Amino acid sequence: MKLFYQKHFFALFIVLFFSHTINSQNRKIITFNDGWKFQKGNQKNATSISFDDSKWQNVSVPHDWAIYGPFDKEIDKQNVAIIQNGEEIPTEKTGRTGSLPHIGEAWYRTKFDISENDLSKNFTLLFEGAMSEPEVFLNGKKVGEWKYGYSYFYFDISKAILKGNNTLAVKLTNKEFASRWYPGAGLYRNVRLIIKNQEHISQWGTFIITPFVTDSLAKINIKTSINSNRGFVKTTIYDAAGIEITSQESKNLFGNEFEQNIPLKNPKLWSPEQPYLYTAKTQYFINNQLSDETTTRFGIRKIEYNREKGFVLNNKITKFKGVCLHHDLGPLGTAINKAALKRQMLLLKDMGVNAIRSSHNMPSFEQLELADELGFLFLAESFDEWKKPKVENGYNRFFDDYAEKDIVNLVRATRNHPSIVMWSSGNEVPDQWGTEGVKRAKWLQDIFHREDPTRPVTVGMDQVKAVMESGFGAIMDIPGLNYRVHLYEEAFEKFPQGFILGSETASTVSSRGVYKFPVEKGSMKQYDDFQSSSYDLEYCSWSNLPEDDFILQDDKPWVIGEFVWTGFDYLGEPTPYDEKWPSRSSYFGMIDLAGIPKDRYYLYRSRWNTKDETLHILPHWNWKGREGEKTPVFVYTNYESAELFVNGKSQGIQKKIKNGNPQVRYRLIWNDVVYEPGTLKVIAFDKNGKPTAEKEIKTAEKPHQIILEADRTKLTADGDDISFVTVSVVDRNGVFCPTATNQLQFEVSGKGTYRAACNGDATSLELFHLPTMKLFSGKLVVLVKTTKEAGKIALKVSGKGLKTGKLELESFKEK
């Protein structure tokens, strides 16, 4: 189906699917997880089959070699002016890329066996992410190389395969001044060997859309590319319970592509609220013999973008309640882990998030699978840099030779995910100025359209004046503005599309559980402890407070949604402390690096989660030394009014007020509360003025006992599953101690191992993988990982002068 355009109008209708291949009798997929050898540094002759790697480190892949530290301010220290932040004079940036040792060369080696029966088959080696500039060798021969560390890529290695033992070696090179955040290091995503017959379905060769959808009928269009010119395909469709619905054969071969149109009666549509997934099995036959087979889970849905309604999903106007996410997983670094990703996304789901932007790189396959399963709209981004550099050794070095190849791989690998509703070809690229940038934007957008004519393309544009004048913004399918809320009205008037997307918003900064006085709005505020206030009134020089975006979402129907910077804190970019040490991770997140929600989480939850009650009080009520002083109290709630009490004494009723101060439109604020130890209580009222919910927090005594709470106690014994255990300290009465900073020790026994810990403190230099860490604002998180043996797992957390916390988990083999 072609995209169609009219003046001041852009519309798109499409249903898309997501592809996941499994093993069959004619196709084997071997995932190379265990059995790797790793060594950092230049290793001569490491490509050789006879090379002795016995003294190298044994690792499993996915693997991030740099996350183990140590933190060091000298690592990748950059003397730069960050133009995107409005800086003009270069200054020393110490924590910009996380201050972890990711610079340099490293090698991975593994061995695998190929039987004589398989020797005549086709072998494809697939890398889902390798940081960075990978060079790949098989049995001493170079079989390929790539450049972009975020790209998926593959090579046909059939000619280099040997019968029996084969040796795979991978060289990676991370240059300094190559990133604006922590990029990670290593084979941080999966490596797979795909073995299939010589005549087969092409890699990422299935493309499924539905050009027609009603409540009673969907037309499923399936294109299947093969590497041959004969045979036929058969596609069978199953419902979510695995029951066959329909099947169809096709012998119509156009070039190297079969095309099928399959009717599906009474389709169940995919949406964030009901992410229903079907399954399609595509079989390729030659002379009536099965030659290849792939299996595809898919979801049916229809999307439309137009000037009258904005974004429409399944005939329903939908605003993007989105967050931007970097690719690191906090204490795990960039090494992909599905349990960690799922925990992230469940926290976002509880907050009411319905959309995710992969920032500023290509998402992992696992993240897209979870988006399909859990119900998230997805903005899949490609590049942070085009031809003009942001950093000396960034993607600008590869743009001419690799941009098209990287986009082709991104689209073909992921275009069948129902979650993806738009592509992004770039973020805040310096190419926004001038005619050459307009030409590049058009060229990249045309590649996306060629590979996938069913979705629109955006760019995160921060130079709004420039793109209005040059025509850059006018040619984009979807004009995405990064910040610049004061220019929304002007952009709406000048751009022809009829709507605006907040492709990146807010950049509010805060540290979990840290509150600063006096309580006032401020840009780029700094304090001696290198923390930011969790009163959520501090932001960056280029950005704004959440309410500025809320007002645009609520009052301007042509603003189709926002993607907040960011859902989670991430390693690197410690604004506003880019020039301070120690600061090595961001403050932007609604959720901290450990995965513990900050206060701001509840501000967005009160607005986005329309099903569940939100009633959240801040600050904490432990302020020894502030007795008698004014200590403002904020309440984030989806109720319109509430009454506050201090030790039973009313502080009055506050209501949200639409006109006037933007903060009181979305927050309940008591500015004149005088602190006294005891109980802070809030009672919320329904629309009729009747008390309907209450919440209280109390002043804690000294820390007494460690409390453990796991996100899951039943795990899979696969060696990869992780339980995230939140550790907190309470006093003798069970009251949480919000200022506790005790040093704790962790011990795991049984059929599990200690994996890492994180406290969410952007200034902490404690290493994640060591079994000890300080509490930050009374909490931290311990990661317990399963082994491949099922059984009981015990976690013990201890600290001097504290009652030890104990927790039992259990792992099971998958049935």
The pLDDT tens digits of the residues spanning 296-335 come to 999 999 999 999 999 999 999 999 999 999 999 999 999 9
Q: In what order do the strands lie in the sheet with 691-698?
A: 649-655, 641-646, 679-685, 691-698
pLDDT for residue 18 is more than 90:
no
Q: What is the mean pLDDT of the chain?
A: 95
pLDDT for residue 218 is more than 80:
yes
pTM confidence score: 0.96
pLDDT at residue 421, as a whole number = 98
Contacts of 690 (CB under 8 A, 6+ apart): none
DSSP string, 50-68: T---TTSEEE-SS--GGGG
Q: Per residue in 613-631, pLDDT tens?
A: 999 999 999 999 999 999 9
Q: Per residue in 118-163, pLDDT tens?
A: 999 999 999 999 999 999 999 999 999 999 999 999 999 999 999 9
Which of the following is catalytic: 128, 366, 385, 428?
428
Instruction: Residue count of the chain, please give it.
Output: 815
Q: Phi first, then psi: what are they for 435, rounded to 5°?
A: -70, -35
pLDDT for residue 6 is more than 90:
no
The C-alpha atoms of residue 535 and residue 520 are separated, in whole angstroms, by 9
pLDDT for residue 4 is more than 90:
no
At residue 272's C-alpha, the angle toward residues 506 and 428, to 5°, is 35
The C-alpha atoms of residue 61 and residue 189 are separated, in whole angstroms, by 7
The C-alpha atoms of residue 637 and residue 94 are separated, in whole angstroms, by 38
Q: Per residue in 253-276, pLDDT tens?
A: 999 999 999 999 999 999 999 999
- Residue appearing with tokens 């390693």: 571
pLDDT for residue 15 is more than 90:
no
Contacts of 415 (CB under 8 A, 6+ apart): 16, 207, 451, 452, 454, 455
What percent of the chain clears pLDDT 70, i.e. is strictly above it? Answer: 97
pLDDT at residue 24, as a whole number = 59
pLDDT at residue 10, as a whole number = 37
Active site residue 373: no
Please state whether beta strands 257-265 and 253-254 pair in parallel, antiparallel, or not at all (unpaired).
antiparallel
Which of the following is catalytic: 504, 538, 573, 643?
504
Selection from 540, 603, 71 nearest residue 331 by Cα: 71
CB 289 within 8 A of CB 228: no
User: In sequence order, which ranges of 272-391 are alpha helices (DSSP H)?
Assistant: 338-351, 365-374
pLDDT for residue 21 is more than 50:
no
CB 600 within 8 A of CB 546: yes
Mean per-residue pLDDT for 551-571?
97
Burial of 771 (0-12, 13-18, 19+ CB in 10 A): middle
Confidence of residue 79 (pLDDT cuts 50, 70, 90): confident
Active site residue 428: yes
The C-alpha atoms of residue 469 and residue 308 are separated, in whole angstroms, by 25
pLDDT for residue 20 is more than 80:
no
What domains are there in the chain, each with its CATH number?
27-196 (2.60.120.260), 204-298 (2.60.40.10), 316-574 (3.20.20.80), 623-698 (2.60.40.10), 705-812 (2.60.40.10)
State both tokens at 127. 């890398």
Mean per-residue pLDDT for 426-444?
96
Burial of 667 (0-12, 13-18, 19+ CB in 10 A): buried
Mean per-residue pLDDT for 355-362?
97
Distance between alpha carbon 207 and the CA centroid of its chain, in Å?
Answer: 24
